[in-house]
Structure 1
Amino acid sequence: MSVVFSCLDADTLGGVQHVTHTLAQGLAERGHEVHVVGLHRSSRPFRYVESPRYHRHAISRSRADGRLARGRADRRLRRLLESIEPGYAVMTTPSVVARVSGLLPEAFRSIGQYHGSYDHARGCWHLASIRRHYPALHQAVFLSEHDAWQFSEHALLPNAWTLPNPLASWPDGVSALDMPRVLGVGRLEGVKRFDRLITAFARSGAPRPWQLHLIGDGSERERLRAHAEREGVADRVVFRGPVPAARMSQEYLRASVVGLTSEHEGLPVVLLEAGAHGVPSVAFDVSGGVRSAGPVPVPPGDVDAFAAELGRLVGSRAERLRLGAEARARAEAFRLDHVLDRWESMFAHIDR
């Protein structure tokens, strides 16, 4: 069968794109014809898969602003979709659903994903868009049972389904949890609130030589450097920049704790990857997806509580080993083959 994933920009650095390319490669390796479509090309492309077995397309070189440019881009997209054997069209965000669902050839089965939580959706325009566009799709897909239930109940969606994010690979080894390093991974943008992670690290009582390593890049980098200076930990916060996906396993193997202080999340891959490597994590409890990944939960925004849990793990290798083993056992459910089985079960359900 053919599976088409469409994103606003398919090759930028972000969680939606990471998951999309992981699923595309996995389904292609199972023999499906898979296409990943970006409605426009990323200005800073990031490579998620070294040897893709799926087809990649960019409809426009940049954002199609204006009615004429949008019309030309939509015609190119329609021609591309008509050239692909009908199958399943997976639209990865509400904005993509709103734009692409009306362009699909009739023979395609339509699937709309949402990578956030219900609580985040109701706090912005996403919920209204989901209520308007998702009920007409063959399936609406959410990241956790809790979020799928909330959308079903409060957005009156009759077609809600749960499919978690997958792990791209399963490591053979686990971290020894003896290196004095806390790890933060993600875009250095406001929504990720790395300022809170820096503050929590400063207040955790982590002694030298413990360091906080931040992997990723973004517009907040210099502001975060200044924040680390004000918190008195500038010499212990290491800005690593972006790390290729193929090298991230080594980063987890050199970490002892992972911290996640985002304003909102769906099901963060970083928590799954940390768990697969036996690394315990501390995270703000902002969604059912976060809870399903099994970090040490902290009330959202409570930096002092986060610092206390971080300090507890920094101070006890035995506790890190206990929680790391639990995290790895929980991460088993998110192995790629398990998640791909669930995707194929959903395809079969749609066909019935």
Structure 2
Amino acid sequence: MSVVFTCLDADTLGGVQHVTHTLAQGLAERGHEVHVIGLHRSPTPFRYVESPRYHRHVISRGRADGRLARGHADRRLRRLLESIEPGYAVMTTPSVVTRVSGLLPEAFRSIGQYHGSYDHARGCWHLASIRRHYPDLHQAVFLSEHDAWQFSEHALLPNAWTLPNPLASWPEHVSALDMPRVLGVGRLEGVKRFDRLISAFARSGAPRPWQLHLIGDGSERERLRAHAEREGVADRVVFRGPVPAARMSREYAHASVVGLTSEHEGLPVVLLEAGAHGVPSVAFDVSGGVRSTGPVLVPPGDVDAFAAELGRLVGSRAERVRLGAEARARAEAFRLDHVLDRWESMFAHIDR
């Protein structure tokens, strides 16, 4: 049977897309017929998999915002779905569930993912959408046991299931943790709050030659440069731009600490990847998914507390080694084969 993942935009640099392509490649390598559909084309496509073994489709060149454009796009999507062998239709966000679930051929098993936390959903329109659309799906999938329980209780979902994000690969070697480098990874957009990471680095007392390297790009880049200037660390914050996925292992190997200061997160792949490379992380405690990866936790938004923990790790290689070993042991559960086993178990559960 086929597995069809549908995203609003399947090729933008982002966590949902990263996870989707990792799962698609893994399931395809296990012999599944896998398709990844983007409802519209990304203006800046990012390649996650060098040699995909799955099928990729784009429905529209741009966002189908008008009624006429949406109708044409929906008909193209429906024809594509009808041409694919029936199987499991994985809709990656509430927006996709709202748009696509009514277009699925009857033979498909419908699966709705949510890549955020319950707390984030409760603070925006997501919770109302999940309450309205997810109970009618064959399965509603969340990133942590805690979030699945909360959605089950408070959104009255009878079909909640837990599947964590996977690691795309498992490194044989870990970081030596002796490079004077703190690493931040992600889109340079407001929700990621890299301004807080820059402030925490500035207040951490990290001595020269320690630097903060930011990997990623986005609309906040120049504002963040100005913020680093105001914080007095402009010459120690390095904006690296986007780095190809195939080269990220090298970046973790050259890092000694990873920082995550996002406003909200589901289960951030960056924390899993850091842990797999034996690199300890400091993160705001914003979700059950973040907690499941085992970083040093800091109350959400408390930049001074974040700076103190960052300074503690910068000042002690022994502590970095201890926490890095714990993070790698915890990351073992997120290895791709383990997560794919759980996806196939869910497929079997749906079919029973």
Give the TM-score of the pair, scaled to structure 2. Answer: 1.00
Shift of 1:149: 0.2
Shift of 1:135: 0.1
1:217-257: CA deviation from partner (whole Å, max 9, x where unpaired):
00000000000000000000000000000000000000000
Q: Find the counterpart in structure 1 of residue 151 from structure 2.
A: 151
Shift of 1:213: 0.1
2:326 counterpart SS class = helix
1:102-121: CA deviation from partner (whole Å, max 9, x where unpaired):
00000000000000000000
Shift of 1:148: 0.2
C-alpha distance in 1 between matches for 2:104 and 2:46: 27
C-alpha distance in 2 between matches for 1:99 and 1:260: 32
C-alpha distance in 2 between matches for 1:292 and 1:100: 31
1:304 counterpart SS class = helix
Identity rate of aligned residues, in percent? 95
For the aligned residue pairs, the C-alpha RMSD in angstroms reads: 0.2
Shift of 1:123: 0.2
Gaps of 5+ in 1: none
Q: Find the counterpart in structure 2 of residue 269 from structure 1.
A: 269
Gaps of 5+ in 2: none
Shift of 1:275: 0.1
Q: Find the counterpart in structure 2 of residue 136 from structure 1.
A: 136
Shift of 1:290: 0.1
1:263-313: CA deviation from partner (whole Å, max 9, x where unpaired):
000000000000000000000000000000100000000000000000000
C-alpha distance in 1 between matches for 2:333 and 2:297: 19
C-alpha distance in 2 between matches for 1:12 and 1:241: 14
2:116 counterpart SS class = coil
2:309 counterpart SS class = helix
C-alpha distance in 2 between matches for 1:138 and 1:33: 20
C-alpha distance in 2 between matches for 1:40 and 1:161: 28
C-alpha distance in 1 between matches for 2:325 and 2:122: 35
Shift of 1:65: 1.4
Given the alignment of the two structures, is residue 19 of structure 1 paired with residue 28 of structure 2, yes or no? no
C-alpha distance in 1 between matches for 2:113 and 2:60: 22
C-alpha distance in 2 between matches for 1:13 and 1:63: 17
C-alpha distance in 1 between matches for 2:234 and 2:14: 26
1:148 counterpart SS class = helix
1:123-161: CA deviation from partner (whole Å, max 9, x where unpaired):
000000000000000000000000000000000000000
1:160-210: CA deviation from partner (whole Å, max 9, x where unpaired):
000000000000100000000000000000000000000000000000000
Alignment: residue pair count:
352
Within 5 Å, give how 1:48-67 maps onto structure 2: 48-67=48-67
C-alpha distance in 1 between matches for 2:223 and 2:81: 43
